[in-house]
Structure 1
Amino acid sequence: MPKLYLLLGGNLGDRTLYLQQARESIAAQVGSIKQASALYETAAWGKTDQPSFLNQVLEVETILGPEQVLQTINTIEHDLGRERLEHWGARVIDIDILFYDNLVQQTQRLTIPHPQLHLRRFTLLPLQEIAPGLVHPVFQQSIAELLQQCPDELEVKKYKKEV
């Protein structure tokens, strides 16, 4: 069964609740969640004048093909209230496909592996937590190696919810 790695993120509303609802929807509609990283908090990347993000990486086993996964996660985002108003804008939930097995694919709608994952600490740190030896099929480097070379200097820290 294909192994899929997804990045979840959001920076509006009850961030932990939206991530939990996304995980539940993914488990019900995409496939079995085999591993989940801790939650990580990061300042916004790209468009920086917005609240900090919470991110998490999931390893999922799925019977869906890549295009079906994309369609399903887009529906989950929509159902949870995602509005696509501006590129890199604030959002309640964002779900990205990082890897789909060792597939390398580029279509108008979908590029796998995610084309910017090697440039983002908020993606590599949680991914390294659950799959440090995973090898990027294009760069032929492990996640740990990509993290060491990552030019992104934004602080990424494990999230501890304040009580």
Structure 2
Amino acid sequence: MVEAYIALGSNIHPRYKFISEAIEQLAFHEQIEVIKSSAIYETVPVGYTEQGDFLNGVIKIQTNLASVELLAYCQSIEQKLGRKRSVEWGPRTIDLDILLYNQENIETEQLIVPHPRLHERAFVLVPLYDIDSHLYIPVYERTVEQLLSELADDEKKGVRQWKLKNGENASGPTES
């Protein structure tokens, strides 16, 4: 079995339901075991900013699937949950990105691991820090904690805890 980390994001209502359903569908696969989940964070959009705030989180899984099989399964979940790819970095029901796959460096037409913008994104690093702050990422020669500490404060300000790991709301209204 290999360990992988998957980022989840949604900014189309009901955001939390889409994230929960994606995690359930990942856990439902007989060759995937969800090991750990981060808290859920509400984040301002990056890139295309004319859209609603996102809910983001990260999960750690163990799997027997090859990286391309895991990618295909993640994309099938996105499709089932109504993901449309009309605007780059635009609104989405669900986005599933493989951040890390067993400490491997993978570069194909379909998949780049570690995720190429992982080190720039507070909305990825903050939930990844929840799961394992000391996780070493060889391509950057740094831990998650070090990468997060190197981000600009402005980048980190746009990430607010929304739902705690135990499922309780940290802030804001509940969403169904």
Report the TM range for the smaller structure's normalisation. Answer: over 0.9
**TM-aligned CA deviation for residue 137 of structure 1:** 1.7
Question: 3-state DSSP class of the match of 1:89?
Answer: coil
The answer to whether 1:15 aligns with 2:15 is yes
**TM-aligned CA deviation for residue 28 of structure 1:** 1.1
2:173 is aligned to 162
Question: 3-state DSSP class of the match of 1:44?
Answer: coil
Which ranges in structure 1 are unaligned for 5 or more consecutive residues?
none
One-letter amino acid matched to 1:124: L
| 4+ long deviations beyond 4 Å | none
2:64 is aligned to 63
The answer to whether 1:35 aligns with 2:46 is no
Identity %: 36
**TM-aligned CA deviation for residue 151 of structure 1:** 3.7
1:80 is aligned to 81
2:112 is aligned to 111
One-letter amino acid matched to 2:14: D
1:139 is aligned to 140
Task: After superposing the two structures, state which structure 1 stretch, 16-25 or 145-154, moved more.
Answer: 145-154
Q: Is the 8 A contact 1:7 1:97 kept in 2?
A: yes
Alignment coverage as a number of residue pairs: 163
Residues 87-114 of structure 1 show CA distances to partners (whole Å, capped at 9, x for unaligned) of: 1010010000000011001111110000
One-letter amino acid matched to 1:10: S
TM-score w.r.t. structure 1 length?
0.96
**TM-aligned CA deviation for residue 140 of structure 1:** 1.3
RMSD: 1.1
